[in-house]
Amino acid sequence: MNMCGILVHCAPGALDQVATDMNGLDGVEVHMRTDDDRIIATVEDIGDIQAGDQILKVHRLDGVIAAALTYHHFEDEPSVSPAMRTGD
């Protein structure tokens, strides 16, 4: 599991469009918008899509001034035997 918290600073007037664009990216979830044009979001690895790559996409969105990593958590997925996965 790879989970990141990010703080995104938006250009004035761009907050709504940036939030919409961010929610369209796999593994990205907007949690809060502030009155001073900032967005708080999480980004997670989804399959072969890496969180770091998605953060770079957020940073390159029109209307984004900066996207800063504020939290990072990584841990290996637990090993589960095939019998446990299927309930056998």
**CATH for the 2-77 domain, from 1.10.1060.10, 3.30.70.920, 3.40.50.2300, 3.10.28.10:** 3.30.70.920
pLDDT score for 75: 81
Neighbours of 21 (CB within 10 A): 18
Separation CA 70–CA 15 (nearest Å): 19
CA–centroid distance for 84 within its chain: 30
For residue 54, give the DSSP letter.
H
Q: What is the pLDDT of residue 1?
A: 80
For residue 30, what are the β-bridge partners?
41
Residue 61: both structure tokens together: 């969105």
Instruction: List the single range of 3-7, 65-69, 83-87 with lowest mean pLDDT.
Output: 83-87
76 confidence band (pLDDT: 50, 70, 90): confident
Name the amino acid, one letter, at 27: G
Is the per-residue pLDDT at 79 higher than 70? no
Predicted structure pTM score: 0.82
